[in-house]
Structure 1
């Protein structure tokens, strides 16, 4: 092991951490990647907003966590922290608003974007505030990170980022990993049971799950719905349940720990994901690990990849279709069980070691970019040494591009339901590890530049290299 100063090698600046009351799948992704890098020998830190559930300073699995500031004040405080600590490399986690670390450091900055917030801005901030937020995300942020490398978790988000002007040469897709499902004591419910899991905020559209059980309760009198999670929108959801007359068949569990979450998933027949937007939808693969298929909206973006339509679940376009799809799965035991089996197989393809190695490959590329530009420091080169060792351990070569030409998933007849064979083939393409390159505006074909394969990580020479 080489020796170096005690300065931070990789600093993640994030709006929230995994212990935050509003933390979710994106925070889990950041923590798992940070912990993986720390396990490889890097000194990794995270700067995020403070909250009352965790101390201001903490070390979790070798990751130093500093919690300062609030919902908005965390942004300027994070920049001051970058200035003061001068980390070898910074990962800005952009949840709509950018941290803009590029303004205060010449060291490499990688921008992690789970999904684009075009639809969420007006829902949360209204017409004027939403327009300002969208301008910051869609116009200002791409300029701030015009020389930085990007990471996202799905091809859908990658395509949207390219549409905003992000150079595909700098854009990598590194999907979520999935923890192996823990042992549970719960058995599948004898009566039909649905589950929706996530933060209780407007853009998750849990109202649609309530509408589903309201529409089906007359034909399925023993039907129940578990709403797992917490958030500031909960009172509105409870009022909506009362208006629909379904309070007696809906269980609001509030915040639950990991074990209780998996117990709820194991009891369910069908998982609902009515969210406006998902970068990937980690809970989809978590539900799948318990043999539970998902019904969600095609327009959510990342669900087009976490759900294999017609095989591991069903994607729909509107609420009426969601009601019909859920009822079909309740009626047809064989189809539901087959989808659950396929969902478990699909979920097993995603591992955190592969995701961590893919992310490390992007960091290595960012450091290599910086060295010729004069931004590479001794600390950054030390980071590269540890990252190279981590990447090499799973067979990834961060210096080599990956090439693949993929047709957009939305192409073709939107009414066509894929066959099992075509789904299997598309599954192979999806996880063959590809980054994006090319003009999304001019063609439905997205050219691949770099890919993180989450099943058997390998890198192959790019046709464009």
Structure 2
């Protein structure tokens, strides 16, 4: 069945857009899908909030931007705008950044909605808001959203996000997996230099917000400097924690070892990451880890904690190393020592770099757009993003099927799978594994 979205009227509703000063991976995901859908002939409207200086209406790469309200007022304003334009769209991609937009409340019943969930925020609300507001956030993300989207479906970007939806939010509806893409640089394989054990070059690309735990990286540097006096850590990113971290670096006397670069253009960011021996993350949890995949695309492995999302993005021992999350930097330091020791061996270093590039190549943005477009197109044809072949545990959310036409095995989900089976074009073989769901192909079928 076709994943052609040409002529379809699609709304992408997201908290921010990529031009917002606080934009992150979720905004990148929504934008890459929006502009690729537009390039394929869809009529795409990106509805979001408005940062100071941004235009209220704008057209970029064929995508019409509608910007309404600020951090919190965007929710009721977008809902009112959607109500006023309720018959204008064939499908809606409703992005949940902690709280979704609840567009099914105002849309016609047969307008399919896909609630795109980047990661589960339940444990993070308390880091940013007072207790009463955190409770409201958890209630909206959990019970209210679960009921609102019960006739629709959601998409997640990693197996651990799927698991979090099932276990932490008790999501009972269908969940499809559409991973984050990554830009894979063109060109041949570049040799990686051996890291200097006394002066390793480290980099961290992150938003400077509490749950990213940049303080733990300062702890790591402080612990490592006596034995590795030439160690240098460059932190790329901005956020509300930037001034506090700068003061902390100065107070600890780490100015010669840690550099806060703030925002840097994409080409400069890639150059800084490519020059590093290792990329680091101290985050307490992610939906996936776009920066990990971006570093891998440059042949740079990542050290991260073994937490949601990052345990999917980092293939432990192959494209990086995972440390037990004990809440301090001790395990991170131990893992760094182990990684530097392994990377000192040229054969091992080349194997890790090659594995990184091969892993990143699995997640091109075009492939991500293909998978979401197939779900959107099938949902429009069927009049629903839901499925009649789901299960409470998610075991049948994705299946391996064999197409009668060529005998080829495919991993399919939701309305895409339903169309194939209802039309008699394929037969189910078995449930897909979490790894197969992530890659969108059968294990061992690297050619697809």
Normalising by structure 1, what TM-score? 0.78
- Partners of 1:8 and 1:69 in 2: how far apart? 27
Query: Which runs of structure 2 are paired with 1:43-442 in the superposition (5 Å)?
Result: 43-52=43-52, 54-86=54-86, 87-106=89-108, 107-163=111-167, 164-167=169-172, 170-181=174-185, 191-299=199-307, 301-318=308-325, 319-332=329-342, 333-334=344-345, 335-370=348-383, 398=416, 399-400=419-420, 404-405=430-431, 430-433=438-441
Runs of 4+ in 1 over 3 A off after TM superposition: 182-191, 335-338, 400-408, 427-430, 453-457
1:52-83 per-residue CA deviation (whole Å, 9 max, x = no partner) reads 35432222221111222110111111112212
- Partners of 1:431 and 1:249 in 2: how far apart? 38
SS in 2 for 1:44: strand
- Partners of 2:372 and 2:446 in 1: how far apart? 14
Distance 1:66 1:454, change over 3 A: farther
Query: Which runs of structure 2 are paired with 1:17-56 in the superposition (5 Å)?
Result: 17-52=17-52, 54-56=54-56
* Alpha-carbon contact 1:182-1:262 (below 8 Å) kept: no
1:73-130 per-residue CA deviation (whole Å, 9 max, x = no partner) reads 1111111221222322211100011201011111221100010012211111143322
Distance 1:256 1:161, change over 3 A: same
- Partners of 2:8 and 2:80 in 1: how far apart? 15
* Alpha-carbon contact 1:179-1:351 (below 8 Å) kept: yes
- Partners of 2:238 and 2:44 in 1: how far apart? 29
Instruction: Give unmatched runs, 5+ long, in structure 1.
Output: 1-6, 374-394, 409-426, 435-450, 458-465
* Alpha-carbon contact 1:431-1:454 (below 8 Å) kept: no
- How many residue pairs match? The answer is 394
* Alpha-carbon contact 1:350-1:454 (below 8 Å) kept: no
* Alpha-carbon contact 2:411-2:436 (below 8 Å) kept: no
1:295-325 per-residue CA deviation (whole Å, 9 max, x = no partner) reads 11112x1112111011111111233111111
* Alpha-carbon contact 2:211-2:284 (below 8 Å) kept: yes
Distance 1:327 1:396, change over 3 A: closer
Could you say which residue in structure 2 is the equivalent of 1:441?
none
* Alpha-carbon contact 1:192-1:223 (below 8 Å) kept: yes
SS in 2 for 1:98: coil
The Cα RMSD (Å) is 3.0
Give the C-alpha shift of residue 138 in structure 1. Answer: 1.4
Could you say which residue in structure 1 is the equivalent of 2:399?
none
- Partners of 1:328 and 1:187 in 2: how far apart? 18
Give the C-alpha shift of residue 369 in structure 1. Answer: 4.3
* Alpha-carbon contact 1:177-1:454 (below 8 Å) kept: no
Normalising by structure 2, what TM-score? 0.81
* Alpha-carbon contact 2:14-2:48 (below 8 Å) kept: yes
- Partners of 2:241 and 2:438 in 1: how far apart? 35
1:195-240 per-residue CA deviation (whole Å, 9 max, x = no partner) reads 1112111111111111111111111111111110111111121222
Distance 1:404 1:114, change over 3 A: farther
Distance 1:454 1:80, change over 3 A: farther
SS in 1 for 2:260: strand
Give the C-alpha shift of residue 145 in structure 1. Answer: 0.8
Give the C-alpha shift of residue 279 in structure 1. Answer: 0.7
